[in-house]
A and B are shown apart, each in its own frame.
Chain A
């Protein structure tokens, strides 16, 4: 009887199964990621180049087809500059007052201990349950796996899960596999925040394991509780809904992420911080 596949094709099929099994085991047991680094080493310069081309194309399009809008935007910006110049004149007095408030509160003093590396997002990669950003800063800039990515205003973007010499990959808070210990600021109740894909609230976050007597109000701010990975008091999101979970024993809250991921362009990687104070 004629065989359906040649030996070569059979060998390829067997090899595919072996590679998949080996990678599944290696990924679970070790942190070996050399093949990923090689492929990313090829893709990152291409992504950076295409990102720059895209930006240039958008600028060219704006120049060609949005001239009147740009003139209006320019006028608005001039007004804003005038307003900011006015604000700057009163900034010295406010700055001194602010300095005193900082010493009293100690909160922002803690943030002064932050050491940040800024980077631009060069690609957004998302499957149904994954949400990963590639940022153009890597180990050569001091970025390493396990560091936290935030916005310029201290909102949590995600966690660095892979770092090459010139890039890093950030798993965002929207990813359902990322869990963050968090606290509701108004009540002090703590829980775990994770992405909402697997719970029917895609694009939102879900805060689990809240005590049954927790008082949860809409628009309440939720911040990080502080751990070896996440500093304290970074904003994660705002409560939009709450209820009892399937067991009926504990409560959960649905959060709107503090970060607008659609318009996010730049992130700051927290290379050093202190939870003291």
Chain B
């Protein structure tokens, strides 16, 4: 039967590339949030290499990269933290600031562990995030020192340098939290405690 002009005509379905690229408001905010996280991490990583590398305590300088990765993981849900820890540790390694590929495993496992613990037992906030990140930071530096001793890359007398790095990195955590918390608020809460 022939169609009449008054028959219902459905809107054409978008099949072009522009319609496929359409994003919801929430998706755009999520991309903006992670873009800001990325830029902030890169700028702080460079600031560490250029400005903070000469600031020594007991012979050790601050390790902002690890502080940032662990703090952001503590502020995210478990799955996001796992992916971020993996990607962040890879970038940290490829920036040539990390001591070896084993940091990928160490940071990913610690990031997942702290996110799982915090999500299970604590509410997201300043105290819980800084506490979890701080504990993992101490564990990371202790493991790194242990690996260094085991591989004979360092010696027991260098303990104070590792302590200096740990203390400075711990001090950086509460200072970094407001920055990452502000970025984390973009797009609203993505999950409910």
Please give the residue numbers on chain A whose beta carbons come within 8 Å of chain B beta carbons, in ascending order.
4-6, 8-9, 12-13, 15-17, 19-21, 23-24, 27, 35-36, 38-40, 42-43, 46-47, 50-51, 54, 122-130, 132, 134, 162, 169, 176, 197-200, 202, 262
Q: How far is the CB of B84 from chain A (nearest CB, A)?
A: 10
Establish whether residues B96 and A169, one from each chain, have CB atoms under 8 Å apart when the complex forms.
yes
Q: Are B158 and A202 in contact (CB under 8 A)?
A: yes
Closest 9 CB pairs of A and B: A16-B108, A39-B94, A123-B49, A23-B101, A12-B82, A20-B104, A20-B101, A129-B153, A46-B46
Residue of B nearest to A38 (CB): B94
The residue in B61, B79, B85 that gathers the most chain A C-beta atoms within 10 A of its C-beta is: B79
B181 an interface residue at 8 Å Cβ cutoff? no
- A residues in contact with B94, CB < 8 Å: 35-36, 38-40
Query: Could you tell me the dominant secondary structure of chain A's interface residues?
Result: helix
Q: Which residues of B contact A (CB under 8 A)?
A: 42-43, 45-47, 49-51, 53-54, 59-61, 78-79, 82-83, 85-86, 89-91, 93-102, 104-105, 108-109, 112, 116, 148, 152-155, 157-158, 161-162
A residues within 8 A CB of B161?
128, 202
B105 near A42 with CB under 8 A, answer: no
Check if B157 sits within 8 Å of A200, measured CB to CB: yes
18 contacts between A and B (CB under 8 A): A5-B116, A6-B79, A9-B79, A16-B86, A23-B101, A24-B101, A35-B90, A39-B91, A39-B95, A43-B46, A50-B51, A54-B51, A123-B49, A125-B53, A127-B97, A127-B99, A128-B158, A202-B59
The docked-state distance in angstroms from the alpha carbon of A253 to that of B152 is 20
- Give Cα distance in the complex from A65 to B153, angstroms: 44
Complex Cα gap A109–B47 (Å): 43
Q: Which residues of A contact B45 (CB under 8 A)?
A: 43
Bound together, the chains give a CA A162 to CA B95 distance in angstroms of 12
Nearest chain B CB to A56's CB is how many angstroms away?
13
> Is the CB–CB distance between A50 and B100 below 8 Å?
no
- Given A23-B101, A36-B96, A198-B155, does the pair A122, B112 have CB atoms closer than 8 Å? no
Give the residue of A8, A23, A54, A130 whose beta carbon is less than 8 angstroms from that of B82: A8
- With contacts A23-B101, A24-B101, A46-B46 taken as known, whether A128 is within 8 angstroms of B153 at the C-beta atoms is yes
Within the assembled complex, what's the spacing in Å between the Cα atoms of A23 and B105? Answer: 12
Report whether B78 and A6 are in contact in the complex, using a CB–CB cutoff of 8 Å.
Answer: yes
Q: What distance in Å separates the Cβ of A42 from its nearest Cβ neighbour in chain B?
A: 7
Known: A9-B112, A127-B99, A128-B162. A19 touches B46 (CB 8 A): no
